[in-house]
Amino acid sequence: MAQLFRPGANTAFRIVLALIVLSPLALFFAAAAFPRTDYATKVSMFVDQSVPFSHKHHAGDLGLDCRYCHTGVETSPVAGVPPTQVCMTCHSQIWTNAAMLAPVRLSLADKKPLRWNAVNVLPDYVYFDHSVHVAAGVGCSTCHGDVDKMPLMKKSEPLTMEWCLSCHRQPERWLRPRSEVFNQHWKPPPDQLAIGRKLMIKRGIEKTHLTNCSVCHR
């Protein structure tokens, strides 16, 4: 009597069944993991700008304070970008004919603002206020990373809801003295948690309130 199936048919059948069962699970976990990848969150990706502005040179080498360019960071929800006149405060005197600064000179001559592309972009349904975070003692580098080491600006943190909530649930891990908010070289001391809890009490920060939906979604 002729044999209909080869000796390995049972094994092959079991493998096919396993793939049928496991494939949807694999797709589910892949779909869940993808939004957390650097590719999806665009972490460490550079954004093309009309002028190749170097934070490393200006904030790092020259030591310019963040507030010199981002004038609204202490008083406004938006940190702001510098008008052309701020750039020309220096560049009307130095590097006056540099080719890479041609868009800056043209912007001043035509009285049209430079077009800067945002590096850190939040969805329209998310409300974020720079001034509130600065007043609470959250440093620039906590969210923006080592800006003073970036020749070109890149996104340092994912800025996902999960990432934001991790800070809102434990703000004591990140709070600094207000005098250190703009210090790119500040590092948490060994007793950061104890210091952070004292700062929370001093500044009236309540963790239960920070996780309310209305804080970020208005």
204: left (phi over 0), alpha (psi -120 to 50) or beta: left
pLDDT per position as a tens digit, 182-216: 999 999 999 999 999 999 999 999 999 999 999 99
Q: What angle do CA 103, 146, 116 make, to 5 degrees?
A: 25
pLDDT band at 8 (very low <50, low <70, confident <90, very high): low
Which residues are CB-neighbours of 120 under 8 A, at least 6 positions away?
Answer: 143, 144, 155, 159
> Which of these, 69, 182, 178, lies nearest to 116 by C-alpha position?
69
Q: How far is 17 from 20, CA to CA, in rounded Å?
A: 5
111: left (phi over 0), alpha (psi -120 to 50) or beta: left
pLDDT value at residue 3: 58
Q: Would the pLDDT of 173 be above 80?
A: yes
Whether 141 contacts 186, CB under 8 Å: yes
pTM of the model: 0.84
pLDDT per position as a tens digit, 13-47: 678 877 788 778 878 777 777 778 888 899 999 99
pLDDT value at residue 22: 78
What the block records as the tokens of 119 is 């590096």
pLDDT value at residue 181: 98
Q: How far is 48 from 57, CA to CA, in rounded Å?
A: 18
Maximum separation of any 2 CA atoms in the chain, in Å: 98
Q: Identify residue 167 by its one-letter amino acid code.
A: C
Classify residue 53 by burial, with Cβ atoms within 10 Å: 0-12, 13-18, 19+.
Answer: buried
What the block records as the tokens of 215 is 């804080």
pLDDT value at residue 2: 54
pLDDT value at residue 4: 62
Q: How far is 215 from 211, CA to CA, in rounded Å?
A: 7
